[in-house]
Amino acid sequence: MLGLFVQRHAEAAALYNDISVIYVHPSDDVSQNFSIDDETINNVRTIRVYYKKSKSKLLSLVRFFKANKLALRRLPRPDLIHVHVLTRLGLIAWWQKLVHGTPYIITEHWSRYLPGNYFGGFFKKHLTKLVVKNATAVTTVTGILAKAMQAHGLLNKNYMIVPNVVDINVFKPVPHTNSIPKIIHISCFENQSKNITGLIDALQILECRNVDFQCVFIGDGMDFKMIKDYSQKLKFQDRIRFTGVLEGHAVADELASGDFLVLSSNYETQGVVLLEAFACGLPVVSTGVGGIPEIVNSTNGILVPPRNPEKLADAMQTMLQTFRDYDAEAIREVIIKKFSNESVGKLLNNIYTTHLL
């Protein structure tokens, strides 16, 4: 799940290029210092290196860089390195540029640069500035993220927007008629950013207003148990359901069976689940944080301020009455044109070609 956005970008780029992915991650499950998986997935050679966790931050950092080195040795020297998420991976790409002359571009997804979030100390900021400056190009998934990075002094002459990818062949409309309107929520169940307890507070307000609904919570994460316990404040437990983690067609089918999606985040870069809902032809109710106002408008949903359960409840109540009025085909068509594998793949190919010439 942690590499899902990168995987989707890689698969899109692989429609027009020879793509290999290196994924490095700490693990408690490796018996030796390193464990390597090397396979081809959806036309992308994928090298996963898991390194043994250590209580020592220095040793963990050393193992991280060594794990990337082990993966790089398995590949022929690349024409271009595409870094996803800073800063450590950017240092590796910068080193490859210094030693071998290999150009690199950066794609950033992380919301840490947005107002209200913490972006490192002096040393980390300085290194990040150097990595960004020496990149051939920098892409972000939203315009607001690009502006936030530049506001931190992360300057590069080639900033571009490359959105996240939605698999339109998996996320698509399905015929359904729910006897009771069905709300869908999908997240990683990390409450500080996703504010799922705030969503439950809003559902309780709807419950007190005698509004009829059912709500399905999809996902798992560090706060799953706390959130599930918190949901006990709802009087009618048969109104809600927790599915745990669903993937691929399972999550797409559950999403498409809903009438609209709700996202209650305190901060968000783009909100891929919103794009997936649009691909299924569903409207959304979402907090207007981060890059979300760039994709949600009156034709596909309702925006509300964050940390305001009353406003969220009002918007959901309105959507429960009006979700049938939205044009599902028009909502999906936007996703096909801008966020499909083919569209993003062509955009990436153009960037690769331009910066290799």
- The yes-or-no verdict on residue 240 having pLDDT over 70 is yes
Domain total of the chain: 2
* Six-digit token string for 186: 């999908």
- Summary mean pLDDT of the chain: 94
Measured between alpha carbons, how far is 328 from 253 in angstroms, rounded to an integer? 16
Kindly tell me if the per-residue pLDDT of 116 is higher than 80.
no
Read off the pLDDT of each residue in 143-153 and give the average, rounded to a whole number. Answer: 94
Asked whether residue 172 is assigned to any structural domain, the reply reads no
Which domain covers residue 73, as residue numbers?
4-165+340-356
Kindly state whether residues 346 and 327 are assigned to the same domain. Answer: no
177 part of a folded domain:
no
Of 103, 138, 9, 93, the residue nearest 356 (C-alpha): 103
Domain assignment present for 86:
yes
Residues 135 and 54 in one domain: yes
With 80 as the cut, is the pLDDT of residue 1 above it? no
Whether residue 355 is predicted with pLDDT greater than 90 in this model: the reply is: no
Report pLDDT for 275: 96
**What pLDDT is attached to residue 119?**
87
135 band by pLDDT with thresholds 50, 70 and 90: very high
Whether the CB-CB separation of 284 and 296 falls below 8 Å is answered with: yes
Q: What is the pLDDT of residue 28?
A: 87
Q: 191 and 140, same structural domain?
A: no
| 44 and 129 part of one domain | yes
Residues 278 and 352 in one domain: no
Instruction: For residue 146, give the CATH number of its domain.
Output: 3.40.50.2000
- In this structure, what token pair is assigned to residue 118? 């913490």
Indicate if the pLDDT at residue 226 is higher than 80. Answer: yes
Answer whether residue 319 is part of any domain: yes
Per-residue pLDDT, 11: 95
Per the DSSP assignment, residues forming a β-bridge with 261 are 184, 284
**pLDDT value at position 357?**
55
| 270 and 345 fall within a common domain | no
Whether 289 and 238 map to the same domain: the answer is yes
* 266 and 160 both lie in a single domain: no
The answer to whether residues 189 and 137 belong to one domain is: no
Say what the pLDDT of residue 354 is: 87
pLDDT in tens, 326-342: 999 999 999 999 999 99
Instruction: Name 105's Cβ contacts closer than 8 Å, sequence gap at least 6.
Output: 80, 81, 82, 83, 135, 136, 137, 138, 139, 351, 352, 355
Exposed / middle / buried, residue 120 (Cβ in 10 Å: 0-12, 13-18, 19+):
middle
Contact 137, 351 (CB under 8 A): yes
Instruction: Supply the pLDDT for residue 120.
Output: 79
Q: Please, what is the angle between helix 57-73 and helix 88-100, to 10°?
A: 50
Q: Are residues 187 and 90 in the same domain?
A: no
Residue 176 lies in a domain: no
pLDDT at position 2 is 63
Mean pLDDT of 77-99: 95
Give yes or no for residue 261 having a pLDDT over 90.
yes
3-state secondary structure the chain: CCCHHHHHHHHHHCCCCCCEEEEEEEECCCCCCEEEEEEEECCEEEEEEEEECCCCHHHHHHHHHHHHHHHHHCCCCCCCEEEECCCHHHHHHHHHHHHHCCCEEEEECCHHHCCCCCCCCHHHHHHHHHHHHCCCEEEECCHHHHHHHHHCCCCCCCEEECCCCCCCCCCCCCCCCCCCCEEEEECCCCHHHHCHHHHHHHHHHHHHCCCCCEEEEECCCCCHHHHHHHHHHCCCHHHEEEEECCCHHHHHHHHHCCCEEEECCCCCCCCHHHHHHHHCCCCEEEECCCCHHHCCCCCCEEEECCCCHHHHHHHHHHHHHHHHHCCHHHHHHHHHHHCCHHHHHHHHHHHHHHHHC
* 173 within some domain: no
Quote the pTM value: 0.86
Res. 255: pLDDT tops 70: yes
- The more confidently predicted of residues 269 and 235 is 235
* Same domain membership, residue 151 and residue 23: yes
Mean pLDDT of 267-291: 94
174 lies in some domain = no
- In contact, 89 and 65? CB cutoff 8 Å: no
Q: Are residues 141 and 271 in the same domain?
A: no
51-54 long-range contacts (CB < 8 A, ≥24 apart) are: 51/24, 51/25, 51/26, 51/27, 52/26, 52/27, 53/26, 53/27, 53/28
